[in-house]
Each structure stands twice: as structure tokens, then as C-alpha cells.
Amino acid sequence: MKCGGNWALVTGSTDGIGKAYAFALAKKGLNIILISRTTSKLQNVAAEIEEKHSGVKTKIIEVDFAKEDSTSYIPKIEESIKDLDIGVLVNNVGMSYEHPQELLELSSTYVDTLINLNIVSLNAMTRIVLPQMVERKKGAVINISSFLAAFPTPLLSVYSASKSYVDLISQGMAKEYSSKGITVQCVLPGYVTSKLSKIRRPSLTVPTPNAFVRSALSRLGIDSRTCGFWSHDIMTFLAEITPKSILVNNVYSQMKTIKAQALKKKQQAEKQK
């Protein structure tokens, strides 16, 4: 509520962490702008928020960051939010691999789509919303990176590199705009229960999106770079103290195992057809 605006904008807001941020910010009294690609899902989440949080307004904007060119969706978003004071921007939309793969096993189209979602959308949304925060000298930008941005991740190379971009640009922006009253926070989550992670049951190391976001939001304005959740902090600490060559070899071995399991499962599914 110190961010100066009465609206929060969340991309990728119909599932997982993005949806949890939308509800958590609505609970704090902010009106919510939801941006995602599926109108029906946007309408459902908006209705849920307004039903659960009396007095909170919602606005939905349908954008497919994967397929639409930024020159197309930027004017649409700018027009939709031109009269709204946005105090919080959550750049959450993104994607990973279907399963671990070597670089050349990915189509160029798939790589372009991943870059559009993980990098281009963040750049576009930040340039749309940040100017009004600078003018107001208040605001918060929350960029969702990944635990895998902290080190090279063989077989998820493009994903981890794209999330490393999110991490580094956030650190730079935090320094650039702190004197202008803007809080920039980079969140590097480990696994949470979601469609993206394909994990359904929560555990000590895999929280639900709601539990994760409650923890991460409590650090806004305190930590400019955070894993957001205590067990993810421990995982990052252990990764950072492990010699990089050993860490990368271990990660590579784990990813090869996951790839083999995914391919075996895929083959079994094809046989059953």
C-alpha cells in the first residue's frame, strides 16, 4: 500500500504463482488488472477475486505474449490502462521446457516463443508501466525469475539463461530506480505445486502457490533479490557453496534422468493409443 497506486497488474495471472499474486494483492485492497491469453480463464479469475474480496475491482486484458508481436499488444495494453494508477507490476508470465532437452532438439519456433514469454514480455510491460511510477515517485516491480537462473542448467539451457536475464536486469533496475522511489524485487522460486512444475502435492520444499506468494510478498521492500520461501533459500545457499563444476555435473545427471523418464512415459502413452 506504500506503492502509490490503487491497482496492481499481473501477467500470467490465471494459474500458479501469477494467480496467487493476484489474490494476495487483492487481499491487501488493490484493484487487479489480469493479463493472460485465455478470455474464459481471465473472466473466471476476475469473478473469483471480486466475489472473495468485496470492493475490489478487476480488469482483464487478453494478450498472447507467445504469439503476438510486442508492437501489436503494447498499444492495446497502454490504451487499456491509460487512466489507472498502477502501484504494483508483477512480471510473472513465462514458460519452461516440456521436458529437459539438448538445445538442438528444440525447434527455433519453440525457442523464440520461450524468449518472447520470458524476456520480451518483461521488457515491454516494464516500459509500459514504469514511467507512471517514476512520475509518481512510488511503485513496485516484481519480476519472477527462477532458482535455475542462479547457475547453468544443462538440458534446460535456454530457460535458465532467460531467467538469468530476468535476475540481472532486476538487479540493475533496482539500483537505477531506488532513488526515484521505485522498489524492484527479483523472485527466484524453486518448485511450487503448479501445472508448470507438474507437481501436485505440496511438501517442505514444494509449497503451494498461495503459501509461496505470502512468503515472497512479506519480503517486498526488504529483499531486492529473494528465493521467496525458506526452503528455497536453503537450496540456493547449498548451490552457491558447491563448486560450480560439481554442481553443473550433478544438475546434468539429474536432468538426464528426468529426460529419460519423460521420454519413456511419452513412448508408453503413444503405445496405448
Q: What is the model's pLDDT at position 205? A: 86
pLDDT of residue 11: 97
Q: What is the pLDDT at residue 184?
A: 97
In a domain, 69, yes or no: yes
Q: Could you tell me if residue 253 is inside a domain?
A: no
Range of the domain at 199: 7-241
pLDDT per residue as tens digits for the range 99-120: 999 999 999 999 999 999 999 9
Q: Residue 197: its pLDDT value, please? A: 63
CATH number where 152 lies = 3.40.50.720
User: Is 159 an active-site residue?
Assistant: yes
pLDDT of residue 214: 96
Residue with grid cell 538487479, as numbered in its chain: 171
First to last CA, the chain: 53
Residue 18: closest CA among 236, 202, 38: 38
271, part of any domain: no
- The SS3 assignment for 224 reads coil
Q: Using the 8-state DSSP alphabet, how is residue 195 labeled? A: T
Question: How many folded domains does the chain comprise?
Answer: 1
Beta bridge partners of 59: 33
Low-confidence ranges of the chain (pLDDT < 70): 1, 195-197, 273
Amino acid at 128: I
Print the SS3 string covering 24-83. Answer: HHHHCCCEEEEEECCHHHHHHHHHHHHHHCCCCCEEEEECCCCCCCHHHHHHHHHHHHCC
Q: What is the pLDDT of residue 16?
A: 92
**Residue 250, in any domain of the structure:** no
Q: Is residue 167 part of a domain?
A: yes
Q: Is residue 258 part of a domain?
A: no
How many whole angstroms from its chain centre is CA 117? 10
Mean pLDDT across the chain: 94
97, 159, 177, 191: the catalytic one is 159
pLDDT at residue 196 in the model: 64
Task: Report yes or no on 268 lying in a domain.
Answer: no
- In whole angstroms, what is the distance from residue 18 CA to residue 8 CA? 12
